[in-house]
């Protein structure tokens, strides 16, 4: 059964960015129909949480499709209306297990031409690694912090640095980590004031929050 495609083409005019496509729960037929609709408007296709199997099917169908397996993201076309800004975003992650969420955020920002850099494996279990990067991180205007387990990295960064901080709990950790719920609750309970918190694993949402901040200060 086919359903009408209701892609939000007016979102760019309202908000300054386009709608991303959630790939996890869509069939390959739905993804192809939505992609065709978006590409026909000369917009960029950005699919998140897409499986390798679905991505391979799209790669076979579209010559310019690019699949980023570690991020579980697929991009087609190009964003012809990138943001004109010199503001920069640092994406800080506790460990390589947070890489999928970190890269999702990075790809989402790069689509809009935002200069960003990922700082990986600077979690609190080896605090010296974070301290060693602080001078470099200070050069960035907005910080996205991705961490699983107890999610303490966002609080530590928030206690050391003054930039806007967007925390992303990651569904990584043993037992009581409960697929990121412990990190989420820890970030929501942070004693570092002013930290904004995304939902679990929502790297894309963090990137769009950073984009809103950048647009307001550029």
For residues 87 and 108, give the distance between their C-alpha atoms in angstroms, rounded to a whole number. Answer: 15
Parallel/antiparallel/unpaired status of strands 66-68 and 73-76: antiparallel
54 φ/ψ angles, rounded to the nearest 5 degrees: -65, -40
- Which pLDDT band holds residue 7 (cuts at 50, 70, 90)? confident
pTM of structure:
0.92
188 has pLDDT over 60: yes
Q: What is the pLDDT of residues 28-72, one digit of tens each?
A: 999 999 999 999 999 999 999 999 999 999 999 998 999 999 999
Count how many Cα atoms sit within 13 Å of the Cα of residue 171 in the half-sphere of its side chain.
8
Mean pLDDT of 185-198: 94
Closest to 147 in 3D by CA, of 177, 117, 114: 177
CB of 58 within 8 A of CB of 65? yes
Q: Give me the CATH code for the 88-217 domain, please.
A: 3.40.50.1970
Domains of the chain, by residue range, sit at 11-76, 88-217
- pLDDT at position 104 is 96
DSSP alpha helix (H) spans, the chain: 11-15, 28-40, 52-61, 99-111, 127-131, 134-137, 153-160, 181-188, 203-217
Mean pLDDT of 199-215: 96
Hey, is 75 helix, strand or coil?
strand
Q: What is the pLDDT of residues 95-121, one digit of tens each?
A: 888 889 999 999 999 999 999 999 998
Mean pLDDT of 162-191: 92
């Amino acid at each position: 059964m086919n359903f009408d495609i209701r892609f939000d083409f007016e979102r760019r005019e309202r908000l300054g960015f386009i709608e991303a496509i959630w790939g996890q729960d869509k069939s390959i037929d739905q993804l192809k129909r939505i992609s065709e609709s978006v590409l026909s408007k000369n917009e960029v296709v950005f699919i998140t949480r897409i499986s390798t199997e679905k991505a391979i099917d799209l790669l076979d169908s579209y010559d310019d499709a690019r699949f980023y397996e570690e991020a579980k993201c697929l991009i087609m076309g190009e964003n012809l209306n990138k943001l004109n800004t010199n503001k920069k975003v640092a994406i800080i992650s506790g460990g390589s297990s947070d890489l999928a969420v970190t890269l999702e955020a990075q790809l989402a920002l790069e689509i809009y031409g935002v200069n960003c850099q990922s700082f990986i494996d600077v979690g609190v279990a080896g605090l010296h690694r974070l301290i060693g990067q602080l001078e470099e991180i200070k050069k960035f205007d907005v910080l996205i912090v991705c961490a699983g387990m107890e999610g303490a990295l966002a609080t530590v960064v928030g206690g050391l640095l003054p930039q806007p901080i967007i925390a992303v709990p990651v569904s990584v950790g043993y037992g009581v980590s409960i697929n990121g719920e412990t990190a989420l609750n820890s970030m929501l309970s942070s004693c570092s004031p002013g930290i904004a918190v995304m939902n679990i694993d929502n790297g894309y949402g963090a990137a769009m929050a950073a984009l809103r901040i950048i647009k307001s200060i550029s």
